[in-house]
Chain A
Amino acid sequence: MTLNQTARPANEAPPEPPKRRPGHRLQHYGPAYLMLLPFAVLFAVFLIYPLARSLYYSLTDFNAIKPPVFVGLDNFTELLANDDRFHKAIWNTFKYVIGSVVLTMVLGLLLAVAFKSTSLRDRLLRTVFFLPSVSAGVGIVLVWKWIFMVDSWGLANTVVRFFGGDNRSWLAEPAMSIPILVTMAVWGGAGYAMVLFVAGINAIPDELYEQASIDGASKARQFWHITLPLLRPVLVFVFITSTIGAFQIFEPVYLLWRRSASIVGGPLDSALTIVPYLYDMGFNRFQLGYASAIAWILFAIIFLVTLVQLRVTKTFKEFDR
């Protein structure tokens, strides 16, 4: 079975029914539409309709008790021009996204190149590296919380002392917030990227490397001129999907720094990212209109960043030629 025959369109439709009566069409396609119906209804009710409603709320002042009051673009201008907390959230999110995506990809690629074979050692190590992506969840976030305990018996502090440093209060120090989040993301995501890269690398025909070896190209040159260009589609895929995922970070932020239900964002908001801020505005303060506007700005940011990424990676492609 081939893996990449995706571009082939669904041609060869069944023969058109003879068009006699108007009702005939529906009768003919009835089963087809009926098959689409369950998905279509749920999709319309819980996705399309909420999107429309969200767009409307984003233009209103709405606190869930009184009916929404239309305020035009006020929420957006307030968020973009005046809301310092939101600016902090965006800035933090970008720091986190760049740190986690770059490190995840670099480490994932290194792991893939180093352990791509089918030998027992490589398969075993790949399983180990992949394990965190399987177990990602609230449980693992709690483990990290325990590792970064302020007390001297926390694991992070024990390690730091082993290397001659002093105890730190990890989760209470603003400068540590983003590095901690990035560490967790790389720990959880590098193995996943590795699996995608291994599949991509092993799909590159061996003849290319053999030919290059005969021509006297070094391993480094082979990596640079064969592996990287041919891996480009997978690199772009991982780059874009991991960026989109990183922008939506919520659970670690919410769980690591929570002291009471209504405090989100860590010391001095140093861990406040966009989705936790949305949650805070929407479900702690019940400013649902404002929170909806945040959601749409998140969409706009992800959309623009994806466009830029596609653009940049395309430029690289032309550069290769």
Chain B
Amino acid sequence: MSVETISAAGTVTKRPKKINLGAELARLPLYLWAVVVLIPFWWMIIAAFKTVPELMKNPPTFFPRDPSLDSFYDPSAPAPGGTPNPDAVPGVFQRWPEVAGGFLRFTLNTFGVTVIVTVVSLLIASLAAYMLTKTNAPGRRTVFVVIISSMMIPWQVSLIPNYLLTSDLGMTDSYLGYIVPGLAKSFVVFFLVQYLRSIPDELVHAARVDGASEWRIWWQIVLPLLRPALAAMAIFVALGEWNNFLWPLIIIRDEDLFNLPIALSNLSNAIVSSPGSMGVAMAASMLATLPTVVFFFLFQKHFIKGIALSGIKA
């Protein structure tokens, strides 16, 4: 079962075939599902551009009649310390006035943490995977078994001790406490080990015979070979980190350190008290979701390959 056969299988469908009316009719509900899938996105986007009165119109409008950017930034909303204007709902970028940068800051927090976690966790996992597959250091099998076994245990089991440990170390409300406990990802090591096993050892041997150090072999030979696997894992880790919620919810109180999911959840509280803020919540949701969608369209091939790979490797 190789990539070649997959593409070969794909070409088979290109054979000229007669249009099968029955099959198309059977597909009809599935076309409907495509519409259902898109509706929440559409509902989010139009809500972000509706005015407050239009948000509460019954029946609702499916195209914003009077598109406005007020949910992002409402010029009539009071500046901090200004006279309050009860009619205006502060936009996304006007919320959290006590945080320098507000929503932009949360976006940068999320982006920074995502990049750091992805890069560091992949680097240390690839080092471990290389050691576990391409050296014969005693004890490596035991270590691998321990790593695999740990994957059986849901991560919530370590949630409470990790919270206590992080607070004992004085790392709550810090980027360190936010980032470091999540860096060792067993499933990445597992996936990379599986992948490395399918790479012939001869390449590594040849380099060793030539006198290359283990570190050099890892950096110059193994990492380039691992690239497809690393791309797949980077996507998983990055998406997970972008949406990370429960851990920062527990560990972060300081608004300066909020990530986007925490900021959004914060907004959802505001909605309960004033439905007019729903447009703001949708604008924020859109801003938080958009990067993942753009990311997907940029790396669509890697996404699909990575997922397929994870299914076949397992």
Contacts and interface: CB of A to CB of B under 8 A. Distances in A.
Interface of A: 1-6, 8-14, 16, 25, 29, 31-33, 35-36, 38-40, 42-43, 45-51, 53-54, 57, 64, 107, 110-111, 114-119, 125, 127-132, 134-140, 142-147, 149, 151-155, 158, 161, 187, 190-192, 195-196, 198-200, 202-206, 234, 237-238, 241, 244, 247-248, 250-251, 254-255, 258-259, 275, 278-279, 282-283, 288, 291-292, 295-296, 298-299, 302-303, 306
25 contacts: A1-B228, A2-B198, A5-B197, A10-B134, A10-B196, A36-B132, A42-B124, A42-B184, A46-B181, A50-B157, A116-B13, A125-B31, A128-B37, A129-B33, A130-B296, A135-B289, A135-B293, A138-B288, A153-B58, A155-B43, A199-B308, A234-B312, A251-B246, A275-B156, A288-B160
A195 B307 contact: yes
Interface stretch (B68-76, B81-89, B97-105, B259-267): B259-267
A26 to B, nearest CB: 10
B14 A295 contact: no
Interface in B168-226: 180-184, 186, 189, 194, 196-198, 201-202, 204-205, 208, 213-215, 218
B284 A152 contact: no
Name the 4 nearest CB pairs between A and B, nearest first: A199-B308, A139-B285, A13-B136, A117-B13
Given A6-B313, A153-B59, A191 B160 contact: no
B49 interface: no
Contacts of A238: 311
Contact of B154 (A53, A111, A203, A298): A298
Nearest to B20: A219
A237 B314 contact: yes
B44 to A, nearest CB: 5
A137 B156 contact: no
Contact of A295 (B34, B150, B159, B228): B159
Contacts of A295: 154, 156-157, 159-160
B10 A118 contact: yes
A270 to B, nearest CB: 18
Nearest to A278: B156
B194 A6 contact: yes
Given A35-B130, A146-B281, A46 B184 contact: yes
A29 B131 CA distance: 10
A257 B184 CA distance: 33
A118 to B, nearest CB: 4
A290 B152 CA distance: 21
A31 B131 CA distance: 9
B21 interface: no
Nearest to B228: A1
A248 B154 contact: yes
Given A8-B197, A111-B33, A155-B39, 16 more contacts: A2-B198, A31-B214, A39-B124, A39-B127, A43-B147, A51-B158, A117-B10, A128-B37, A138-B265, A138-B285, A139-B284, A153-B55, A155-B43, A203-B6, A206-B12, A299-B157
B41 interface: yes
Nearest to A138: B261
B145 interface: no
B77 interface: no
B40 interface: yes
B154 to A, nearest CB: 6
Contact of A237 (B204, B268, B311): B311
A116 B138 CA distance: 46
Interface of A is mostly: helix
A38 B40 contact: no
A174 B271 CA distance: 21
Contacts of A127: 300
Contacts of A45: 165
Interface in B1-51: 1-3, 5-14, 26-27, 30-31, 33-34, 36-41, 43-44, 47
A282 B249 CA distance: 13
Contact of A35 (B127, B159, B182): B127
A135 B260 contact: no
Contacts of A5: 197-198
Given A3-B1, A40-B128, A143 B282 contact: yes
A55 B13 CA distance: 54
User: Most A CB atoms within 10 A — which of B150, B289, B309, B311?
Assistant: B311
A10 to B, nearest CB: 5
Given A134-B293, A237-B311, A33 B137 contact: yes
Contacts of B130: 35
Nearest to A118: B10
Nearest to B218: A35
A111 B34 CA distance: 10
B40 A147 contact: yes
